Amino acid sequence: MKIVVVGDGKVGFTIARSLDQEGHDITIIDNKPHVLTNTLNLLDVVGVHGNGASVDVQLEAGVEYYLKITYNVYASNTATSLTLNIQNTAN
């Protein structure tokens, strides 16, 4: 399954590592290039540098459906709203 993880912090990395170990096709979005580079050196994943709440970045990463786990409610709501707009225009 192709899965996009937004955020390469402790939670995002842990989720990506677990899903990678299960054999899923993982893309990680993060706005910190050095963090993303470290993850790409450790896991068999694709990295996209940018803001996960950006429609352009989500499209580049191949987002079709969106589940965001975050402590930042504003960022989560913004990203989810943008993704729903992507889905509505794609259908």
The pTM assigned to this predicted structure is 0.73
More confident residue, 82 or 46: 46
User: How many residues are listed for the chain in this entry?
Assistant: 91
User: Is residue 27 within 8 Å of 2, Cβ to Cβ?
Assistant: yes
CA dihedral sign, ordered 11, 48, 86, 74: positive
Question: pLDDT of 19-47, one tens digit each?
Answer: 999 999 999 999 999 999 999 999 999 99
